Amino acid sequence: MTLASPRTCLAGIARVRCWGRIGLLGVVFFVRVYAQSSLLTEEECEATGQRIAHLLNTASSKAVIDMFDFAANFELITNSLNLNARNKELMRERHRSSSLHALNSSFNQFDSARFLRVLWIEGEKRVLLRLQNKGIGEYNYLSCTLARDDLDGGIKITDLHDFLAGETYSQATRDLIQGILDVQTQAIKDRTPEIVQAHLDILDRIETASGLVDSRRFKEALDSLKDLPETWKRHRLVLTLRFLASEHVNHDECQRVAQDWAEAFPGDASLDMILELNDEWLNQYDQAIQHVDSLMKHVGKDGYLSFRKASLCLKNNDPAGAKRSAQEALEQEPDLDEARLIIVKSALREKDHRITLFAWRDFHLRFPETDLARLTEAEPGYDDFIQSAEYQQWAARQNAP
């Protein structure tokens, strides 16, 4: 399986846009159900989670976006902000276009979705999904807030939630706008209007850096963020851009960004996912496995994380650990066929021909058109197994008329 670079993964975690263009920071959906006159049942939440996954799997992201209640999300953003009527209307117009951009940016980069489970957290029901781009190995966890439309009884998405970072789209947007309002209030009080302009200039610079990263002009993006105030350098948006850029320019800077991130957002599990891919890229498999273990504690049972661990164990020359994790992956997701190949490769490395034949035969029965020899011929133990009596007897039976 092709695995993502740290840059690709992080681009999936945070499609960064400034102010009204804040991107979605993540990918498993939480569905948070508000207490309303018509509460959603657990069965309805599960059915909606399955429906969202089905729509995304059939390239119908537009149908999921059509479920998004822009008006409800706007109220979540603005209900605690002190805005006059004119500014609120101006913001409403911008909110819809920026939200559409963020929704399209997040959904369209993935080609696979899986509903995991309904959760009950802090008095709210949520639906957990995993999104993947199988072509490049990108994956993440995103959440959706659901509520019933009392007018037609339908179920709408009212917010999105970055499960790993623990931040909703509305919260991230509201915090950024509140920062601007606080600066404006202080500037009026101190009669220092230039502070407002300086604040807006910083946001413009972050916006420019985002465009440079999108254009793969990584060194320019990193240089443009160098002399930001220290508080801004540890803003989530800026940390994301710094990591995306430094991964291509300077590994030492990449490590500094990771340290800044860990200090600024202790317990942010999205950093484990970023560093897992980064450590794998650097062949630091022990550390990568530790990050997967940390993700498992945060996410809970997820077959793909077990598969990720199995893959890393195999690269770390731990066939027993790889087989154990691959079997766990199949217990959690019986259709996670990549894990079956890990089991075959692990058995080849352990050089127990009887167990290897069992795994080989199982894979062959499930995927008779797949050239398993081509997928495993580079594995240690392959030649010995092919020449073993166990394999030769089985192959003779397969070729018998």
pLDDT-wise least confident of 6-20, 74-88, 302-316: 6-20
For residue 399, give both structure tokens. Answer: 């070729």
Provide the CB-side half-sphere exposure for 383 (13 A, CA): 2
Q: Over range 310-327, report the average pLDDT.
A: 96
**Exposed e or buried b for every residue in 32-69, given b needs 16+ CB within 10 A?**
bbbeeeeebeeebbbbbbeebbebbeeeebeebbebbb
pLDDT top residue among 65 and 190: 65
Sign of the alpha-carbon torsion through 237, 241, 242, 244: positive
Domain with CATH 1.25.40.10 in the chain: 194-268
Q: Helix 6-13 to helix 236-249 angle, to the nearest 10 degrees?
A: 160
Q: Is the pLDDT of residue 394 over 60?
A: yes
> Are the beta carbons of 224 and 244 closer than 8 angstroms?
no
Q: How far apart are CA 349 and CA 343, in angstroms?
A: 10
List the single range of 232-241, 307-316, 320-329 with lowest mean pLDDT. Answer: 232-241
Secondary-structure class of domain 194-268 per CATH: mainly alpha
User: What is the distance between the alpha carbons of residues 205 and 203, in angstroms, rounded to a whole number?
Assistant: 5
- Rounded to an integer, what distance in angstroms lies between the CA atom of residue 89 and that of residue 102? 20
Share of the chain above pLDDT 70, in %: 88
Q: What is the mean pLDDT of residues 153-165?
A: 87
| Mean confidence (pLDDT) of the chain | 83
Check residue 123 and give its pLDDT: 63
Given the structure tokens 């929704």, which residue do they identify?
103
d(CA 305, CA 331): 12
In whole angstroms, give the CA distance from residue 186 to residue 167.
Answer: 27
Place of tokens 């220290």: 230
The model's confidence at residue 199, banded by pLDDT at 50, 70 and 90, is confident
Topology of domain 301-399 in CATH is 1.25.40
CA-nearest of 127, 79, 67 to 103 is 67
Burial profile 91-121: b = 16 or more Cβ within 10 angstroms, e = fewer: beeebeebbebbbebbbebbebbbbbebbee
State pLDDT tens for residues 119-149: 776 666 788 899 988 776 778 898 888 888 8
> pLDDT tens digits, residue range 346-369?
999 999 999 999 999 999 999 999
Residue 322 has pLDDT above 90, yes or no: yes
Choice between 219 and 122, residue whose per-residue pLDDT is larger = 219
Range of lowest pLDDT (16-30, 86-100, 234-248): 16-30
Q: What is the pLDDT of residue 379?
A: 94
Whether pTM > 0.85 for this model: the answer is: no
Q: Is the model's pLDDT at 260 over the cut of 70?
A: yes
pLDDT given at position 237: 82
- Whether pLDDT at 37 is above 50: no
Q: pLDDT for 76-114, tens place per residue?
A: 888 888 887 887 888 888 888 888 887 887 787 788 899
Which of 87-96, 132-141, 165-174, 318-327 is the most confident on average? 318-327
Phi and psi dihedrals of 170, rounded to 5? Answer: -65, -40
Place of tokens 């254009």: 215
Lookup result for tokens 């309805």 = 44
Q: Number of C-alpha atoms within 13 angstroms, CB side, residue 17?
A: 20
For 3, the token pair is 């695995």
Residues 246-271 as b/e (b if ≥16 CB within 10 A, e otherwise) read bbbeeeebbeebbebbeebbeebbbb
Instruction: State the pLDDT at residue 122.
Output: 64
- 361: buried, middle or exposed (CB in 10 Å: 19+, 13-18, 0-12)? middle
